[in-house]
Structure formats: C-alpha cells, structure tokens
Structure 1
Amino acid sequence: MTIKINLNGTIDNDAFISVLDHGFLFGDSVYEVVSTIDGQVVFLAEHLRRLRQSAAALNLVIPYSDTKFGEEIHRTLKSAGNTESYVRIIVTRGVGELDLDPTSCTSPNVIILAKEAVIYPQENYDKGIHLALVSVKRNLKESLNPELKTGNYLNNVLAKMEANRTGAADALMLNSSGYLTECTTSNIFFVKDGRIFTPSLDCGILEGITREKILRLARENGFLVEEGEWPPEALEQAEEAFITGTVKKIMPVTLLNSRPVGNGKPGPTTKKLMRLYEDFLKRVLE
C-alpha cells in the first residue's frame, strides 16, 4: 500500500527522520488521526485542538498554524489521490542530544501521512466484534496522562498483543483501581435497562472526538447517559456494548472474553446510534 508522506512540507513516497529525533528515541511526540468522507477531512478543527492540548502539556512547540495544517493536509491528500484517506498527523520533538533532556531539540518535525482509508469488514458492524478484557492496565493519570495523545503507546501495544493471543479483535483495559477505561484505540460504551453507560474522563481515558459526538447525539435524542466508574462486572451484565473511534465510527461488541454480550447480537440502541451518527456525518458534510 502506497503511503504519501509530508515531512516538513516536502511530499514523497519515502521519508526519513534522524535516529536522534527524540520522537523516535523516547516517544516524545504527539499525534492525531483524521479520516475523509467523500474526500473531505472530518472534524479536523477538533483534532487539531486536541493535538495542541497534548503538545502544550509536553511543552512541545507546534510550528504550524491550523491554516497551514489544512493546506499541507490538502496537498498530501491530492498527491495521494485516494478515494478516501486515513491521515495521521505527527509532531515530534526533533533531533537532540542522546539523553532525555529535550532542551537540545530546537526544530520539531511535522509529519503528515496519507494512505487509503481503513475499511473494516461489514461483518464487524452486522454481527459485532470480540473484545478481551486484558491484564495490561491503562496508564496512571499521575504518570503518563492518557488524555494526552502521544507517541508513547507501549501499554496499548502490549494490551493488543494480549488480545491477539485470545483471538479477540481488540483489548479492553482497566485502570489501577479496577474500573473500565477504554480499548487500545477506541472508547467503550454499554447499555443496560435502556441507559447508556461509558467510563468518565476521571477513569484515565482519552477524550475521544467520536465519543463526544456520540454522547451529544444520544442526549439530544432522548437517551439517558451516565459517565462514571464501572467495574468489569457492569459490562459483563450489559445488554449491549459498542466502541467508538475516528475510523471505526460505532462498532458493536457482541463477545467479551468469548462470552456473549446480551443475546450476542448488536442491540437496538447500538443500531439506532449507528444510524443517527451516519445521518449526523451526512449533515456535517452538506
């Protein structure tokens, strides 16, 4: 698969950064993922806002304005020529001395990757996916705040590897207090007695862009929604579950640790939210 790479404004099929870049050496970087629908980048402003929030927490200077990002993303997409694209925006600390101190890094690198959009099998939406509740814990907020979208994703990698060993599509992690948090690249929701539940930000999760859209849509359409701290038993007793993400949108979960969630099929609340979100995206693009 061809990937067009925009490195500091230069577009090529291949691009390289120095092995002395602190993003490579220490995961000292921030990133966001956006996707296109009908060739248009969706929710770019929200993703750039979160990129800047993550960078500010790291004292990482982003050298592009939002307008410049938009221009460079457009140039990269045009060069890629995909029908629909997956776009990853990365800002690294840049080249510095071979030590942890970032003060020697004076020129951040801005990378924009564009490739053909990720298309999940329709079966994932029609029948749902299998999640594994794994032993790997979500990062402590007091050590590496999960609300920051950084290049330091090792615990998510380990969680995904554990899920792979069980045959599950993704991993669901708990925090150090034993409460549900999120999957490796998506937020989790579940339904019980007509109410929608999802872990709160206090649980140590990324504030997902799609998560926020779904919460607002659900409330606007009369659903009762609760954000809070939930033990895994709450999910095990749920009637429905689904995950949300930029690329996945809303994807039903019908198996948890090889056991059916509810009746083992996507439920009516999940299906309605899927329809509402698709309609919402159409309105956004009008």
Structure 2
Amino acid sequence: MKIWLSGAIMEAEAARIDPADRGFLLGDGLFETMLARNGHISFFEEHLMRLVSGADMIGIEMPFGPVHVEEACKALLEENKLDSAPRASLRLTLTRGPGPRGLALPANASPTVMISCAAAPNPPERLNAIIATPRRNPWSPAARLKALPYLDNVLAKEEARMKGADEALMLETSGNLACASAANIFLWEGERLITPSERCGILPGITRAALLELAPDMGIETSEDEIAPARIAHASGAFLTNCLMGLVPLARIDGRVIPAHPMTARLAAAYELLLDAADEND
C-alpha cells in the first residue's frame, strides 16, 4: 500500500515520520476521513474546510492548498488501484510536525501532512449499541474538532465490544446524549427527527449537516437538542451517521429494541441520491 507524505507518494513501508513529531508524541494535530466512490471524493470541500478551520483554531498552517490536496488524494487512489473502486476511504492527517521536548509550541513549526487510503466495506444493515462509560467534555476545545486524541472513543468502542455490541454511545459530562464513538446519532420522536446539539460536545459531522439540510425538503421536522438518555426509551427509531457508512439504523440500545422507523430508509435513499448527483457533476 502506498501513502502520500508531505508532497510525495511512496510505499508505506518506506515512509518516515520524525520521532519528534508532535502528532505522534502529543496528539497535536487533526484528521479527516473521506469516502471516495469510483474516484469521486464525497464532500471533499466540506472536509477540507473543516480541517483548515480547525487548523486555524489551534494555530497550524496547512502547507498545501485545496487543489493540491485533492489532486494528491486522486493520485493516491490511482496508485493503489482504488480509483475505480465502488467504495474507498481516504484519511488526511495534519500534525504540527516535529518539535522540542515539552508542551510549548515550536517557534518555527514544519507541519506534517499524510494521506492514506484503503478499500471500504459496505455499511452494516443495522447496529446494536450500548451507552458507554467514557464521556465527552463539551468544555474542551477539542470536542468540536476532528483532533488526533481519540482515546476516550477507543475505550468506549472497546467497552461496546466487550459487552457484545457493535457501537458505543457517549454521554457528555452533564449526562445528555452526545454521539457514538465515531458517528453522530439521530432519534425519531414520532415524525420529528432530533439530534444532540453542538452544545453537547459533539463533532458536528458532515453527513449530519447534510441530513439536517436534506430532511426539511422531505417534510421532516428537525431539532438540535439536549437529549436525556431517558428519551431513548420513547424513541420511535434511531440511526447513526458518518461519511463512510451514511445512515445505519440502530436495532438495540443497551438491549432495548429500537423500532425501525419507515422514514429512515427514505432519508437514507435521499442521501444516496445526493451522493450520486455529486458524482455525476464531478
């Protein structure tokens, strides 16, 4: 497998990242995961805008422009013979680069940029979830960034696996529902679609944003809210979203059966049509 590292495509085994890189040592960086379908990168501009915006917030200068990054992603897909794959994932990682020991920012940072790719499996038909122990901190600046430190999410996902579930739902520190380990969550309350607000320490997902824009055009009322876990018991449906899997219904949460809401399938189909239209216009 080949990767793209700071301007050059190379075999992954030959790549070298400085042992003093702050992304490796301190988690000082950001990343984006993107879906490519037959070589077209879904929501590329939105992903790159989120990365650059986050980089501005934490003071990392992205050393490559949007056109350069998009061309690099497409060249990498081609080099790995994934440019015609029905589904492939791309990961774009940006770190502050190497620095001296300690937490102080380097005076002259030299950011590291890496892109990797892999074939992406088809999304599961449904998922079972638990409410995990680790919590999201809505007061942390990193909560709203696609930041490298993902230990809480990793531990939540492992807790789910150990309890025989596919996915972990995470609460925030006040006890309200936040997100899954690597996805946003939506609940149906009757015909109304609700999702945790950005006040709940969530990463505002790109698929989440697309659905909040798409749903009203389908006559679906939406709301971003603080959602106590007790409301799950009364939900008439639930699903998770991220860019790789789109919409996947939740079948159970903590063993409780979650109904299959008929509008979930319609919304998923509308989302797929949105991706298809973007592919055709590429």
Identify the TM-score tier after normalising by the shorter chain. over 0.9
Residue of structure 2 aligned with 1:87, choices 84, 87, 90: 90
Does structure 2 retain, via aligned residues, the 8 Å contact 1:239–1:261?
A: yes
Counterpart mapping for 1:52-67 below 5 A: 52-67=52-67
2:95 maps to 1:97: no
Does structure 1 retain, via aligned residues, the 8 Å contact 2:138–2:172?
A: no
Amino acid at match of 2:71: E
SS at match of 1:103: coil
Shift of 1:210: 0.2
Does structure 2 retain, via aligned residues, the 8 Å contact 1:236–1:256?
A: no
Alignment RMSD: 1.2
Counterpart mapping for 1:24-39 below 5 A: 24-39=24-39
2:8 maps to 1:5: no
In the aligned structure 2, how far is the partner of 1:180 from the partner of 1:142? 15
Residue of structure 1 aligned with 2:211, choices 211, 214, 238: 214
Does structure 1 retain, via aligned residues, the 8 Å contact 2:194–2:223?
A: yes
2:233 maps to 1:236: yes
Amino acid at match of 1:256: I
Note the alpha carbon deviations across 1:93-148, whole angstroms, 9 max, x for none.
1111121112245211110101112333xxx32xx21011111101x232343111
Does structure 1 retain, via aligned residues, the 8 Å contact 2:32–2:92?
A: yes
- Unaligned 5+ residue runs, structure 1? none
Amino acid at match of 1:17: I
SS at match of 2:144: coil
In the aligned structure 1, how far is the partner of 2:274 from the partner of 2:62? 31
Shift of 1:208: 0.4
Equivalenced residue count is 275
Shift of 1:164: 1.1
TM-score of the pair, normalised by structure 2:
0.94
2:172 maps to 1:169: no
In the aligned structure 2, how far is the partner of 1:105 from the partner of 1:270? 49
SS at match of 1:102: coil
In the aligned structure 2, how far is the partner of 1:249 from the partner of 1:177? 28
Query: 6-15 vs 248-257, which deviates more?
Result: 6-15
In the aligned structure 1, how far is the partner of 2:38 from the partner of 2:88? 10
Residue of structure 2 aligned with 1:112, choices 101, 112, 115: 115
In the aligned structure 2, how far is the partner of 1:211 from the partner of 1:142? 21
Q: Percent identity?
A: 34
SS at match of 2:143: coil
Does structure 1 retain, via aligned residues, the 8 Å contact 2:188–2:236?
A: yes
Does structure 1 retain, via aligned residues, the 8 Å contact 2:138–2:173?
A: no
- Unaligned 5+ residue runs, structure 2? none
Residue of structure 1 aligned with 2:178, choices 181, 205, 209: 181
Shift of 1:38: 2.4
Does structure 2 retain, via aligned residues, the 8 Å contact 1:93–1:105?
A: no
In the aligned structure 1, how far is the partner of 2:142 from the partner of 2:99? 24
Match of 2:274 in 1: 280
2:129 maps to 1:135: no
SS at match of 1:217: helix
In the aligned structure 2, how far is the partner of 1:144 from the partner of 1:118? 32
